[in-house]
Structure 1
Amino acid sequence: MAQTNIQDRKIKRTRLKIRLRKQLGKSSKIATCYEALIFIKSYPQKSKSVLSLAAKRLFSRKKYIFLFASPTHGNRGDQLIAYSIKKWCEKYFPLYVFVEYDDSILRDWSFLSLLKSVINKHDLILLRGGGSVGDWYIDYEYFIRHVLKMYTKNKIVMFPQSVNFSDTPFGREEKLNTAFSYDNHPDFTFYARDEISFEIAKTMLKRSKVQLCPDIAMFLFNLHALQPCDRSGVFLCLRTDKNEIHYSNLERNQIVETIAHKYSVRFGDTEAGHKIFLEQREEEIEKMLRLFSESTVTVTDRYHGMISAVLTKTPCVVLRSADHKIVSGIKWFEGLDYVFYAENIDDVPALIEKAMLCENPMVPAFSNYFNELYEEIINEQAKG
């Protein structure tokens, strides 16, 4: 019985397709869109957004920007990145329609194929930035490769990333696979967010365009209005994921005890500990920034802990992480007198004392970098 129903639906779809082609012509774009609408109806709930998009595109000539795989996990640093990309697009591409799909599409190749039916060659595809290019977050790397293979007619931009492949047989193999995939796309631009990643990417990629640009979250330096609040104590924003911690638990615990002996301390992390969906993102980001703005000094080994401290004008002592992200990324803030890098964990108490004396911290202007980011994309699109 079930088999009969499936066959009946297939026959009905085929008849509708034939009728539409006769009415609208085989070469008609409208016919193609209507075909997409017919097939979409047989897909799950998630594909309703594509159905809506296909209907809108029937009657509009607007160009679209697609942001793929925005995070739903609890890392509010990654949420800050996705939010910043959206704000950047709103400023520089006001005439484009911005469409965002969350990371539930990471392994959904059928959905990506379906979406391809309503994306045209003039649309721009964006891949989020962060610290995920490497063999540690390999699922996201596989997703990027699949997108690059599937959407060969579109300009694709990877927002500023750190690059970190392990020096293991697996890491070396995946580095070669990534290089092959990225270089195989005819119009792919990779942005590195630190000098070490930039040099790695330039060596690794022979055909792709490679550029250096600050983490896109720094775009908010020009936008975010800081709410006045009373500050007190030291906010310890420290990682809990063991694989990315540079110092031992014993070293960290000893330094925390030393700090807590002298100052009031609150503990936290950029990790929320629960999923964050698109509609919750802004609220969760504000919660995170409030932790920084209510503190006199922050101590962090988080990349976006450092950025959030600067964004909220909070003097900051930065510890290194297990990779090069912090060591290289902090160079963007070399001119700031309220961001201190602790070469050794034992230096932290003395640096906190210095940070406590900082007055009237200023947020740096990075607008020129993000203007250039826009101009480079537009110029490349014009060539295409």
Structure 2
Amino acid sequence: MTLNDADRSYLGGIQDATREVLRRVIGDATAVAIVDAPNQRNVGDALIWLGELDYLRSLGLKIEYVADLWSYDARALRKAMPKGVILLHGGGNFGDLWIGHQILREIVATDFPDYKIVQLPQSIHFEDTRRAMLADDVLGNHPDLTVLVRESQSHERAEQYLPNVSVEFCYDMALGWTPSRIPDRDERGLLAIARADREASSSLDAVDQGWILGQHLTVTDWGPRGMSSLTWHGARSLTRVHRFYARARRKLPYLPLNVPDKFGTWALARTNSANVSGAIDLYSRARVIVTDRLHAHVLAALLGKPHVVLDNSYGKVSGIFEQYTGQFSTASYAADLDTARTLAASLVD
């Protein structure tokens, strides 16, 4: 399936607006570094990553340095990019729910007071106000740091928790990715992409084959599969090699910088591409998608797939759906499982 004309036009408007925001916050720089690149099974983060790359290329920006959560090395970044803007990967990990990513962005802000830093669009969620105060202190003391947020709820939370940090709205970066045409397969039944982690709240992962009478149902979560799984596991093993090397280099500063980091960047690219390829293959076999994952919804919208969306634990999905992704003609929102079942049954008939 492909986007209809109305959805294609709407998506184009989102992409144009996003490029305008990026041009303004990045400024005159021609080189960027990206820190906290995704390196896990979550297809959503990989989809954001691909969107980020497409946007940066369209703006003519050269990516000089890339690091994931474990391979970040301040000395290597300075060497690779003596002048430019540091970008922090976007997503939904700003706050204390996924604390490792929060600690990393604060380390980067402390390491680089002399560089412009832009946090690419995030959702913000703090459960501990003391942790929020620490984030505000560290990030707010940076002389040139901007946090982009991807929905109004996060903007309100930033006003509450991060009063000393410069914050602007920007659409989710995954919407900048242009997918290849989805493979033509024998589409049958329903696919449920269901969370089973600390953000889960819909109980979608507990539905069984009898959820919708007479319809085949596959219930799963994000992750590599099939031939893409082999590529993913191989590439991720290579990123672990680079991670080990980066850790050793912090203790042995005479070790080379440039070539090993380019190898790590290549492996990260392969890992994320395999993640998204596996998801597209999975989507190609279903007529209708039901999900409580934000980017399972975004991917369905980008591919023109009819789908039903449920919320996550702290309103991230519903906030973005209500603000902009719900405008796609293929998207329907359900406040609970019973409503989701009714909507999915009507779409699959």
Q: Distance in 1 between matches of 2:67 and 2:106?
A: 17
Aligned length: 280
Q: Distance in 2 between matches of 1:200 and 1:184?
A: 19
Contact 1:116 1:151 in 2 (8 A): no
Contact 1:183 1:208 in 2 (8 A): yes
Partner of 1:101, secondary structure, is strand
Contact 1:299 1:316 in 2 (8 A): yes
Q: Are residue 338 (structure 1) and residue 330 (structure 2) matched? A: yes
| Residue equivalent to 1:245 | 200
Partner of 1:125, secondary structure, is strand
Structure 2 unaligned spans of 5+ = 1-28, 226-231, 237-266
Aligned-partner residue type, residue 188 of structure 2? S
| Residue equivalent to 2:119 | 158
Give per-residue Cα distances to partners, 1:140-198, cap 9 Å, x unaligned.
111111100111111111111011111xxxx1111001111111111111111111011
Q: Are residue 123 (structure 1) and residue 84 (structure 2) matched? A: yes
1:333 deviates by 2.4
Q: Are residue 292 (structure 1) and residue 259 (structure 2) matched? A: no
Partner of 1:262, secondary structure, is coil
1:79 deviates by 1.5
Write the mapping of 1:290-369 to structure 2, written as runs, cut at 5 A: 290-331=281-322, 332-356=324-348
Q: 1:334 to 1:284 in 2, by over 3 A?
A: closer
Aligned-partner residue type, residue 205 of structure 1? L
Q: 1:84 to 1:342 in 2, by over 3 A?
A: same
Q: Compute the TM-score of the two structures, normalised by the length of structure 2.
A: 0.74
Q: Compute the TM-score of the two structures, normalised by the length of structure 1.
A: 0.68
Q: Are residue 236 (structure 1) and residue 192 (structure 2) matched? A: yes
1:117 deviates by 4.6
Q: Distance in 2 between matches of 1:342 and 1:193?
A: 21
Aligned-partner residue type, residue 356 of structure 1? V
Aligned-partner residue type, residue 334 of structure 2? A
Q: Are residue 84 (structure 1) and residue 51 (structure 2) matched? A: yes
Q: Are residue 102 (structure 1) and residue 102 (structure 2) matched? A: no
Give 1:74's match in structure 2, choosing from 38, 41, 53: 41
Write the mapping of 1:12-27 to structure 2, written as runs, cut at 5 A: none
| Residue equivalent to 1:225 | 180
| Residue equivalent to 1:215 | 172
1:252 deviates by 5.2
Partner of 2:211, secondary structure, is helix
Q: Distance in 1 between matches of 2:211 and 2:307?
A: 14
1:296 deviates by 0.8
Aligned-partner residue type, residue 192 of structure 2? L
Q: Distance in 2 between matches of 1:97 and 1:348?
A: 42
Q: Distance in 1 between matches of 2:205 and 2:110?
A: 44
Contact 1:270 1:304 in 2 (8 A): no
Partner of 1:266, secondary structure, is strand
Q: Are residue 282 (structure 1) and residue 273 (structure 2) matched? A: yes
1:308 deviates by 1.0
Aligned-partner residue type, residue 143 of structure 1? L
Give 1:138's match in structure 2, choosing from 84, 96, 99: 99
| Residue equivalent to 1:190 | 147
1:130 deviates by 0.8
Give 1:178's match in structure 2, choosing from 126, 131, 135: 135
Aligned-partner residue type, residue 266 of structure 1? T
Aligned-partner residue type, residue 238 of structure 1? A
Contact 2:133 2:162 in 1 (8 A): no
Contact 1:105 1:112 in 2 (8 A): no
Aligned-partner residue type, residue 270 of structure 1? W
Q: 1:217 to 1:205 in 2, by over 3 A?
A: same
Q: Distance in 1 between matches of 2:285 and 2:65?
A: 34
Choose 1 or 2 for highest CA Rg: 1
Partner of 1:244, secondary structure, is coil
Q: Distance in 2 between matches of 1:327 and 1:198?
A: 15
Contact 2:84 2:115 in 1 (8 A): yes
Aligned-partner residue type, residue 326 of structure 1? V
Aligned-partner residue type, residue 309 of structure 2? V
User: Larger relative CO (CA 8 A, sep 6+): 1 or 2?
Assistant: 2
Contact 1:338 1:355 in 2 (8 A): no
| Residue equivalent to 1:271 | 223
Aligned-partner residue type, residue 100 of structure 1? V
Percent identity for Structure 1 against Structure 2: 24
Structure 1 unaligned spans of 5+ = 1-61, 358-384
1:228 deviates by 4.3
Aligned-partner residue type, residue 153 of structure 1? D
Q: Distance in 1 between matches of 2:38 and 2:328?
A: 30
Q: Distance in 1 between matches of 2:80 and 2:120?
A: 23
Q: Distance in 2 between matches of 1:204 and 1:350?
A: 39
